[in-house]
Amino acid sequence: MKHKKKVAKQKQGTHPVIEAELNKLFSPEWLRKTAKETGLIKRERKIDPVLMFWVLVLGFGVQLQRTLASLHRQYEETGSVDISRGSFYERFSPELVRFLHACVVHGMEQLAETSHLALQKRLSRFKDLLIQDSTVIRVHEKLAKKWPAVRSRKVAAGVKVSLLVSAICDGPKRVMITGERTSEIKTLRIGPWIKDRILLFDQGFYKYLSFTRVTEYGGFFVTRVKANADPVITQVYSTCRGRSMDLMGKSVSEVLPKVKRQIVDAEVEVSFRRRTYNGKRKGDTSRFRLIMVYNEEDEKYHTYLTNISSDILNAKEIAALYTARWHVELIFKELKSRYGIDILPTANPEIVEALLWVGILTLLISRKIYWIVCENNLDKAVRYTHIRWATIFAERANKLRDSVLAYAGLYPDIIDHLGVYESQALDPNVNRTRLSDVWRA
């Protein structure tokens, strides 16, 4: 008995750090204001944007077996309200999509302002390490006209989710949702924001004009060289003892089958065409650094292209840096395996977009809590791996939702189980013929 009282006293004295931080990140005032600005709420009704937001993000966003009916039940149970199914479903509209998108942008901006990580000493001259990549989510075939698939033997539809991930923020910095047929290069807009930052490109973004624009804006990049790319070597930075092969003036395709060096570090010249200006496209050339590192496991050379000079990072460091691209793959895995962005059992495009933004929001909330935990356990922070963290976060999300709402002043009442059963277990199809009709009076 004494032990129970002691535990209860400790719980009462615990400062709700997580609840306070989440209500600061997405305050009730900001959520209601944004709901009105985006048209989600036109006048006060039973739908509270604060309740809707947290039920979506910390309830629905972590459920892998999910339906709108289950979301409707969660909303009614959590808010102790009674709202018709039709009225609730009407909220999945373009206005809700705009509201959730605004929440994602706000969340990314807030997390960027409170970055928790720093680049290692060798990269200290750079402001950030950025990774761009995309994943395709299969959606209902009835959406094929809106989001047609790239290749399919039958009617199919797909949505492309593109992320620009920041190593400093340890999460997405920009998100874009497009159709599957949108080319990778169109999901990335190079601009002044790239200055003093490193961008890791996938081969889907391989375009010399893009690399040149990164350089012209004062940014840096690293990418794997495409198999069909064949730049010409104009200068060799590393030399070998003995009678080594002369690389000057040779193309990569000439060098690869014959070279025997462990590492090749050279300069290459590439040709490309500028964008159309006044109806004309002008040809141009650029020079970049080519690195070839022999991979013992694959028994072949891995080739990279970059504009980072050898006095900043050597060839092996460039190759090691590129492996950071794996980080974005882990984020996509987390989004799919824990937050269900690839489970979209609906033919309604607004619901599809809304649930994709919900998945991103759940990731942002997860990252915020992750860093709160890490800051309170600095000596063990490295042991909080993202996938394991996501599992624990998802398991406790429903309880956290109630605590966050309570902190915001929306106290989830003790559930009237009889009322819930009476409301939710009732078949909404009034005129449906049922098996029991043949024997029940």
> Looking at residue 422, what is its pLDDT?
46
Task: Specify if 406 maps to a domain.
Answer: yes
The residues facing 21 across adjacent strands are none
Residue 87 is predicted with a pLDDT of 81
pLDDT in tens, 9-30: 334 434 588 999 999 999 999 9
From the CB of residue 205, how many other CB atoms can be counted at a distance below 10 Å? Answer: 20
- 295 close to 323: Cβ distance less than 8 angstroms: no
CB atoms under 10 Å from CB of 4, counted, come to 8
Answer yes or no: do 32 and 96 share one domain: yes
Say if residue 6's pLDDT is above 50: no
How many helices and strands (H and E) does the chain possess? 14, 9
* pLDDT (0 to 100) of residue 435: 44
Same domain, 101 and 22: yes
| Most distant CA pair in the chain, distance | 100
3-class SS of residue 243: coil
Q: Determine the pLDDT at residue 413.
A: 53
Range of the domain at 84: 16-108+346-423
Same domain, 302 and 234: yes
pLDDT of residue 288: 96
Burial 68-107 (b: 16+ CB within 10 A, else e): beebbbbbbbbbeeebeeeebeebbbebbbbbbbbbbebb
- pLDDT for res 427: 56
Greater pLDDT, 62 or 366: 366
Separation between Cα atoms, residue 330 and residue 358, nearest integer Å: 18
How much is the pLDDT for 70?
83
Task: Check whether residue 21 and residue 94 sit in a common domain.
Answer: yes
Which residue's entry shows tokens 């009225």? Answer: 87
For residues 352 and 123, give the distance between their C-alpha atoms in angstroms, rounded to a whole number.
39
Q: What is the DSSP letter of 428?
A: S
Sheet holding 197-201, edge to edge: 171-179, 157-166, 128-139, 197-201, 220-224, 300-306, 283-295, 263-273, 232-236
Q: State pTM to two decimals.
A: 0.84
Asked if residue 385 belongs to a domain, the reply is: yes
Please tell me whether residues 288 and 366 are part of one structural domain.
no
* pLDDT, average across residues 387-402: 88
Q: Look at residue 437 and tell me if it is in a domain.
A: no
254 inside domain: yes
Same domain, 356 and 282: no
Q: What is the share, in percent, of the chain residues with pLDDT greater than 90?
A: 46
- Paired with 251 in beta bridges are 232
> Tokens 């999910």 appear where?
66
Residue 433 region by backbone torsions, left for phi larger than 0, else alpha for psi between -120 and 50, else beta: beta
User: Which helix (H) or strand (E) element contains residue 365?
Assistant: helix 349-375
Question: Residue 23: CB partners within 8 Å, gap ≥ 6?
Answer: 404, 407, 408
Structural domain includes residue 199: no
Three-point CA angle 390, 392, 398, nearest 5°: 100
Tokens of 169: 């923020």
- For the stretch 177-220, pLDDT in tens is 999 999 998 899 899 999 999 999 888 899 999 999 999 999 99
420 pLDDT tier (thresholds 50, 70, 90): very low
pLDDT at residue number 319: 93
Sign, CA dihedral 308-312-318-323, equals negative
pLDDT tens, 337-360?
889 898 888 899 999 999 999 999
First to last CA, the chain: 53
Residue 217 lies in a domain: no
Question: Is pLDDT at 42 greater than 90 in this prediction?
Answer: no
pLDDT over 60 at 374, yes or no: yes
- The 3-state DSSP composition of the chain as helix, strand, coil percent (nearest 5) reads 45, 20, 35
**In this predicted model, what pLDDT tens digit does every residue of 147-172 receive, in sequence order?**
999 877 788 999 999 999 998 888 99
Residue 100 pLDDT: 97
Same domain, 301 and 378: no
Between CA 24 and CA 250 the distance in angstroms is 59
Q: Are residues 298 and 371 in the same domain?
A: no
Whether 352 and 283 share a structural domain: no
pLDDT, residue 62, reads 83
Q: Decide if 191 is inside a domain.
A: no
Number of domains in the chain: 2
Position 418 in a domain: yes
